[in-house]
Chains A and B, each alone.
Chain A
């Protein structure tokens, strides 16, 4: 309304009538200026509208072009033009092999390692897998879980597995390596220790000294076998020895199968002794000397990729971060708590480390 009145005053030439009013000359100038400002604003609004339409037209066309390009890419994927580059996967197995304390995916337990082996073996672009082992072994169940995962992956995917031994790959570490098609180690790697161990401390004397006595109410005479608070009976010893012997037979059979040797050939080597890499090679327990790069090259050649293939990182960024947080925040219990967990267990483990 205000603008209409003002513009009317300008265009209709009614200046004389308005000039009669005393305050009119003072109002006239801003009114005229406002008309000018409004005109400019209208022009700007039109330009704004046009630029808005232009912007959305351009963006829309760009979106359409991008969608079309995506379709093309999908087609090229179907024809194999955008195939992912083939690679060799490296899975680290470091430290004592044990079942994880929880089912968290970022735990470094045997079940997570087995899962990694299955996942990577199932990937099309992974043509061979290197197990980077630096371990003195671990509990029987945990070692056999990884061993079984390797055998299954090999049977299902026919992909070659190469074991690389680091500083120590003894006992259970060797058990896992035996499942692989080739073993690469340093000449000075400590390996071997093919055998089983069950150790239990007897703190009966100490308990007597401090006046502590443990009472066990049991359903059977062997229910507290391996108890730390009393002497082991000969009967219990025989039972445990039978168990150890059975696990030992399984170990020897696994080595014989993996190394394509007979059980009779393996048994003389499997008295629990450790070997250097060189000695192990002479005994037929290792295939060749080399470092991780040599193992990767061997895997590349076995997988048809040649030397120096692309290496696929094993780590999932989220799992690595969670693992880091877990360690720092001690979500899985303190180190002291873990150290005090001295439950006796049957192990494929070399305790010299």
Chain B
């Protein structure tokens, strides 16, 4: 089954994710999703000259994306497992890859943003919001939990990262004040 058919099957019948057997072609589709998502993000970053050109630069973005999603999937699985929900971590990671196709939307968005038709931050935020929504739907299916719990699970790693960044910035500020006084 080619990735498009697998994706179509998952869109039409998301309950396949909760089936006893892993949906056919999920591995390929998920990994291709990460690749497509990375291409979208990389093109966005290149259009904004935020990363240097070249294969190494692309590989770095891909590895970052894979690492971050691996961490997110791991944390989410841990949370679900601790709260009694049952599901597969590997399947979740690959399903997250399928949602990463949405990041390819960043390419046209970057053009629109550069033409001042939409704000750059708004366009990026819209894509991320779409991604989070898709992930909530997927978690709901994979772990057979309520939408609220799925949303909580998906947002927890983001909240954790946000809290860590906040603590780091407060600590940096305190450190700077201590240095100056």
A-side residues, CB < 8 A to B, are: 1-3, 30, 33-34, 37-38, 41-42, 45, 48, 51-52, 54-56, 58-59, 62-63, 324-325, 328
The 8 Å CB contact of A55, one of B8, B13, B43, B49, is B43
- Type the 1/0 row for B91-135, where 1 means its CB is closer than 8 Å to any CB of A: 000000000000010011011000000000000000000000000
B9 within 8 A of A: yes
Tell me which residues across on chain B come within 8 A of A58, comparing CB atoms: 47, 111
Tell me which residues across on chain B come within 8 A of A1, comparing CB atoms: 1
B178 within 8 A of A: yes
8 nearest CB pairs, A to B: A38-B8, A37-B8, A55-B43, A51-B107, A59-B46, A34-B12, A41-B4, A3-B5
- Distance between B23 CB and nearest chain A CB, rounded to angstroms: 11
B39 within 8 A of A: yes
Indicate if the CB atoms of B47 and A328 lie closer than 8 Å: no
The 8 Å CB contact of A41, one of B7, B47, B111, is B7
Indicate if the CB atoms of B13 and A30 lie closer than 8 Å: yes
Tell me which residues across on chain A come within 8 A of B49, comparing CB atoms: 62
Evaluate whether A55 and B47 lie within 8 angstroms (CB atoms) in the complex, with A1-B1, A325-B179, A328-B179 already known: yes
Indicate if the CB atoms of B12 and A51 lie closer than 8 Å: no
Tell me which residues across on chain B come within 8 A of A33, comparing CB atoms: 12
B-side residues, CB < 8 A to A, are: 1, 4-5, 7-9, 11-13, 36, 39, 43, 46-47, 49, 53, 104, 107-108, 110-111, 178-179
Can you list 17 A-B contacts with CB-CB less than 8 angstroms, sorted by A residue number? A2-B5, A3-B5, A30-B13, A34-B8, A34-B9, A37-B8, A38-B4, A38-B5, A41-B7, A48-B36, A54-B111, A55-B110, A55-B111, A56-B43, A59-B47, A324-B179, A325-B179
Bound complex: CA A51 to CA B106 (Å): 10
Evaluate whether A30 and B12 lie within 8 angstroms (CB atoms) in the complex, with A48-B36, A59-B46 already known: yes
- Distance between A143 CB and nearest chain B CB, rounded to angstroms: 31
- Distance between B56 CB and nearest chain A CB, rounded to angstroms: 16
Tell me which residues across on chain B come within 8 A of A56, comparing CB atoms: 43, 46
Tell me which residues across on chain A come within 8 A of B4, comparing CB atoms: 38, 41-42, 45
- Distance between B102 CB and nearest chain A CB, rounded to angstroms: 11
Bound complex: CA A34 to CA B16 (Å): 13
Chain A contact residues: over half helix, strand or loop, or mixed? Answer: helix
Chain B contact residues: over half helix, strand or loop, or mixed? Answer: helix
- Distance between A204 CB and nearest chain B CB, rounded to angstroms: 44
Indicate if the CB atoms of B43 and A52 lie closer than 8 Å: yes
Tell me which residues across on chain A come within 8 A of B178, comparing CB atoms: 328
Bound complex: CA A221 to CA B1 (Å): 99
- Distance between A222 CB and nearest chain B CB, rounded to angstroms: 48
Tell me which residues across on chain B come within 8 A of A54, comparing CB atoms: 107, 111
- Distance between A174 CB and nearest chain B CB, rounded to angstroms: 33
Indicate if the CB atoms of A51 and B179 lie closer than 8 Å: no
Indicate if the CB atoms of B43 and A59 lie closer than 8 Å: yes
Tell me which residues across on chain A come within 8 A of B53, comparing CB atoms: 59, 63
- Distance between B51 CB and nearest chain A CB, rounded to angstroms: 11
Tell me which residues across on chain A come within 8 A of B36, comparing CB atoms: 48
Tell me which residues across on chain A come within 8 A of B104, comparing CB atoms: 48, 51-52
Indicate if the CB atoms of B12 and A37 lie closer than 8 Å: yes
Tell me which residues across on chain B come within 8 A of A59, comparing CB atoms: 43, 46-47, 53
Given contacts A34-B12, A48-B36, A52-B107, 11 further A-B contacts (CB under 8 A): A2-B5, A3-B1, A3-B5, A33-B12, A34-B5, A41-B4, A51-B107, A55-B111, A59-B53, A325-B179, A328-B178
- Distance between B45 CB and nearest chain A CB, rounded to angstroms: 10
Bound complex: CA A48 to CA B104 (Å): 7
Tell me which residues across on chain A come within 8 A of B108, comparing CB atoms: 51
Tell me which residues across on chain B come within 8 A of A63, comparing CB atoms: 53
Tell me which residues across on chain A come within 8 A of B5, comparing CB atoms: 2-3, 34, 38
Bound complex: CA A96 to CA B7 (Å): 75
Evaluate whether A48 and B47 lie within 8 angstroms (CB atoms) in the complex, with A1-B1, A37-B12, A41-B7 already known: no
Tell me which residues across on chain B come within 8 A of A48, comparing CB atoms: 36, 104, 107
Tell me which residues across on chain A come within 8 A of B39, comparing CB atoms: 52
| CB nearest to B36 among chain A residues | A48
| CB nearest to A32 among chain B residues | B12
| CB nearest to B181 among chain A residues | A328
Tell me which residues across on chain B come within 8 A of A3, comparing CB atoms: 1, 5, 8
Bound complex: CA A38 to CA B11 (Å): 10
Q: Which of B8, B104, B108, B179 has the most CB of A within 10 A?
A: B8
Bound complex: CA A280 to CA B46 (Å): 65
| CB nearest to B109 among chain A residues | A51
